[in-house]
Structure 1
């Protein structure tokens, strides 16, 4: 409740004509002040007019006026700068440490506001409680917020790449290898793929780039797939021999179970072919980062991740019996997801760190060229009347859902703020 009151004060959602102190003096809020997240009064440097006098100082917010004494503010000199005490219940008179009475005001806010706040927040992580009201928002407010969210997501991914760069001593190829492995997990197996890549550094795998089978043996062996593979399969026997040799030579220790997920998954999405593609890209492309940042158009980028699988994995989804026909490794939509999660953030991070604004702009333009992702989050918002034509918007919606809805931060969402502000001002 107190946090909600702070929000109302901070964003000036009060009914200004109704503001009076408990002793009847009119209050006008010139500046609500700056929210303080540390010790001390809730808002610094506020400006409020009380009666005929302008006060400049701090503002403290409490549910009950008696909380002032309960929190021992009456004996704390850091609260002597408070010029207005904002409360929900006026159950006590409050004073500074020298005994001087502090003006006090009850919050004049619509009862509907508190109800609507809980209607939004209590179910925000389950469904979309604001869905029916979203179409009423103006396109300008919606577009402005989605644009901010898209950039927020792009920069957060770029920041993650910069952190990896520090971890790998500025090695762009190693960083790209790790984020590529994670992206190839396509959400379901992202964590195991990333942990597998981190356990086998790129420079180690590239020492054996003359043998794609050796790289596959290392990845499948460390990933725990060879233990349950059929022993009568000649390809499996080859990988086991290779892995046993490298494990002995380099003292490789088996990883803890990585938690691979394959239940209720179509064979095309099994991690085996994703690992095989990772091995192929490692074996055949030693300049992946340069190819990405120097690509002149979207088709060049798609070609990087559309590398066909040959040999065993051209006809297999897992170890064991294969098929008579060959299959492409990734669909066009899957390739586009790799562009979204690998190429775009890599271009943004590279452009930012090298001061290349043109490359940063290309990264953003790329998202506008890629069709919108098809997933439950995008569908949820589209059913609520929000159009989504490209990946720039779908990335914004994913960021909105994961970082605001599911964390119940409706107060910090511009859409939620606008809907709540309407209720706060109603009489």
Structure 2
């Protein structure tokens, strides 16, 4: 038994209210349950409770046992003087406010359907990755769909808040924020951290001044990333000269990274960080005011074109400095471009929606995800094994959110699927 279960029971009033009375024998009528309060102080505020002939407006505190009031030292905390009803599983003792006045107590132990409690405890003790796996087939598809949509919206709103925080930390500069997200995006799975580090080590204002000179953008990126420490061919000689001048001009040397910061292991040459840097350089050199372009664009193909910019001639024939490639790769692949839409464009749209309070940008982000495919992963496969199928990137993102915020922490009470399972066939017996 957890207090969270009693919070859930009280909030939804899922208990037998016939002949409702306090532990002292006074009749109770719940006129307003109050609003859940997660900060310090009572659990539910602004409740309205009739006890006997008197209506009390105040707070409701919830515990497993009434004696928890003493254990939590509420009897010495004036914030709890506003409590008008103490709701508990077991009323094992009377409780007092700081002025020694008694607080009416409602015991729920014999008022909750046993099957509801049993289902809750089954979910809490389930050992699998998805606590409700055994109940999943009994839940209507519409409930699952609605919960997935809710989880997706919550994920985007959370990402939006994070991006807005980045924007604030960046001195209210959306172009800088877009640059940082773009760098992180080009790290894909295995090199996100060093690409993020590079975005901090190479200031956006420096890159912006040289966007129209592609070779200088490459020199800045490869030099600051630590790939120009050895001269291996004519290209690297030229890049070393460019970077030496630029790094001196902008005082960049102190933050130059090293090659060992980058991950090359178990990776195809087409995914090497050196190749990704060349692709990032091509995008940065081709699009000034990138943030504005990303906000204005509306269809997937145009977004793909923004990212699928041909790299310089050297990088069409090399996968590392001084190492030529037999296969010519002019630009980033289509699936990688779509990955950037999911992990760069969508968070930016969500961030701008959060900042501007214009939900049209959030709706645009959802619409993009619904038009894209995304490979299944370890998390989405957990739901696929239960019969749920991800058809779009929106489905995948929803599954990731559902697992992270509800299934992994066993937060079934706040999940529509878990809620449906706990309520099924149980409320009628109250």
Distance 2:49 2:10 in 1: 12
Question: Where in structure 2 are the equivalents of 1:5-16 lying within 5 Å?
Answer: 5-16=6-17
2:349·2:365 contact (CA, 8 Å) conserved in 1?
A: yes
Question: What is aligned with 1:280?
Answer: 282
Instruction: Say if 1:260 and 1:99 are closer, same or farther in 2 by CA, change over 3 A.
Output: same
Shift of 1:100: 4.4
1:388 to 387, 390, 408: 390
Listed one character per residue, the Cα deviations across residues 42-101 of structure 1 (whole Å, up to 9, x for unaligned) are: 222323455676554332222332233334444555544433222233332223455544
1:185·1:274 contact (CA, 8 Å) conserved in 2?
A: yes
Question: What is aligned with 1:246?
Answer: 246
1:68·1:74 contact (CA, 8 Å) conserved in 2?
A: yes
Distance 1:83 1:380 in 2: 45
Shift of 1:397: 1.8
Distance 2:326 2:143 in 1: 54
Instruction: Say if 1:33 and 1:334 are closer, same or farther in 2 by CA, change over 3 A.
Output: same
When the two chains are superposed, the root-mean-square deviation of aligned CA atoms in Å is: 3.4
2:164·2:354 contact (CA, 8 Å) conserved in 1?
A: no
Q: Which runs of 5+ in 1 are unaligned?
A: none
Question: What is aligned with 1:260?
Answer: 262
Q: Does 1:419 align with 2:421?
A: yes
Instruction: Say if 1:232 and 1:141 are closer, same or farther in 2 by CA, change over 3 A.
Output: same
TM-score using structure 2 length:
0.84
Shift of 1:210: 4.8
Shift of 1:370: 1.6
Question: Where in structure 2 are the equivalents of 1:369-388 lying within 5 Å?
Answer: 369-388=371-390
Shift of 1:421: 4.1
1:267·1:317 contact (CA, 8 Å) conserved in 2?
A: yes
Q: Please state whether the residue corresponding to 1:317 is helix, strand or coil.
A: strand
2:129·2:408 contact (CA, 8 Å) conserved in 1?
A: no
Distance 2:62 2:408 in 1: 27
98-107 vs 60-69, which deviates more? 98-107
Shift of 1:120: 4.2
1:163 to 165, 171, 194: 165
Instruction: Say if 1:317 and 1:107 are closer, same or farther in 2 by CA, change over 3 A.
Output: farther
Q: Please state whether the residue corresponding to 2:45 is helix, strand or coil.
A: strand
Listed one character per residue, the Cα deviations across residues 192-212 of structure 1 (whole Å, up to 9, x for unaligned) are: 212211221233123333543
2:224 to 194, 207, 222: 222
Instruction: Say if 1:354 and 1:69 are closer, same or farther in 2 by CA, change over 3 A.
Output: closer
Question: What is aligned with 1:303?
Answer: 305
354-363 vs 282-291, which deviates more? 354-363
2:150 to 148, 151, 155: 148
2:22·2:28 contact (CA, 8 Å) conserved in 1?
A: yes
Distance 2:126 2:208 in 1: 49
Instruction: Say if 1:173 and 1:34 are closer, same or farther in 2 by CA, change over 3 A.
Output: closer
Q: Please state whether the residue corresponding to 2:61 is helix, strand or coil.
A: strand
2:317·2:324 contact (CA, 8 Å) conserved in 1?
A: yes
Question: What is aligned with 2:91?
Answer: 90
Instruction: Say if 1:202 and 1:94 are closer, same or farther in 2 by CA, change over 3 A.
Output: closer
2:188 to 182, 186, 190: 186
1:135·1:386 contact (CA, 8 Å) conserved in 2?
A: no
Question: What is aligned with 1:38?
Answer: 39
Shift of 1:176: 1.6
1:110·1:423 contact (CA, 8 Å) conserved in 2?
A: no
192-201 vs 70-79, which deviates more? 70-79
Question: What is aligned with 1:131?
Answer: 133
Q: Please state whether the residue corresponding to 2:329 is helix, strand or coil.
A: coil
Listed one character per residue, the Cα deviations across residues 136-179 of structure 1 (whole Å, up to 9, x for unaligned) are: 22233222222222222333333333333333444333222111
Question: What is aligned with 2:62?
Answer: 61
Distance 1:166 1:97 in 2: 44
2:201·2:255 contact (CA, 8 Å) conserved in 1?
A: no
2:311·2:331 contact (CA, 8 Å) conserved in 1?
A: yes
